[in-house]
Amino acid sequence: MYSIVPLLLYLAAGALLARSVKAHASDRPPAALALAWLGVLAHGALLFRAIEAPTGLAIAITDSASLVGFVVAVTTSAVSLRGGLAALPTPLWALGGLLAVGTGLVTGFHEINGQQWQITLHIAFAALAAGWLSIAAIIVAGLYYQNARLRSRAPLGILALLPPVETMEATLFRAIGAGYAVLTLVLVTGAFFVHDLIAQHLLHKVILAVIAWGVFGILLIGRVRWGWRGRKALRFTIVGFVILALAYFGSKFVLETVLGRHWG
């Protein structure tokens, strides 16, 4: 029941921001930012209650999704303090709120011993990478429709509330660059607790994560060396995000929901 509170706060913040941008007033209205940070506090409290367990941490797939949403919301709220993104934070806050709704929905997964700080650090890095690359995925969706409207010379409509294409692309690659750097750390820190990929049910997850890492790496190299942008950049981002989502959520879903097991 309480998990809907962050969603309502994030949606209210997004609505106020969109209204302010539409009125050409400001892209960082104080009321919207205040509501967003209240949503972050409520979201964080829910997560803490859901994943804290006497033996360490209990993180089910819905809590993993909520953790990613929390990263999205915190990052969006922090960046919004500077302004310059028009109404782009609106869909990002909405995503964070939607993912928060599942917080604590599934119970009984006591996977992480509180003494194993390496695993906790690894999970934190994984959530950061997934969150920042989720932001990139939302920006890609906006860019796709922006470009489609511009090519057809159709009115932008609600898309006019988003930043210009150049700003969207610059923000996209900042999100991808940050997410890629942390994803690299995820793969490195995973070595601290992965002792047997097959026994710990992590083989498919690691393979998919490495493939996603390669896709985003190629995209960043292409951006720097050949100036990739537009459709090529969008395709690479979508492919990389889908593969990463399968690694982050797909393997966990199969283990927990289908097989009734976990990776520990």
Domain ranges of the chain: 4-192
pLDDT > 90 in the chain, percent: 53
Strand intervals (E) in 107-191: 110-113
DSSP bridge partners of 52: 57
Question: What contacts 130, CB < 8 A, 6 or more positions away?
Answer: 68, 71, 179, 244, 245, 248
Is the confidence at residue 184, as pLDDT, over 70?
yes
237: pLDDT strictly greater than 60: yes
Distance CA 28, CA 80 (A): 6
Averaged over 191-204, what is the pLDDT? 60
Residue 151: what pLDDT?
82
pLDDT tens for residues 198-220? 555 566 778 888 999 999 999 99
**E strand or H helix at 57:** strand 56-58
Residue 55 pLDDT more than 50?
yes
**β-strand partners of 113:** 56
Residue 43 has pLDDT above 80, yes or no: yes
* pLDDT of res. 194: 62
pLDDT digits (tens, 9 = 90+) for 12-23: 999 999 999 999
- Residue 259: pLDDT band with limits 50, 70, 90: low
pTM of the model: 0.90
Token pair of 246 as six digits: 């399968």
Torsion of CA 159, 163, 165, 170, to 10 degrees: -140
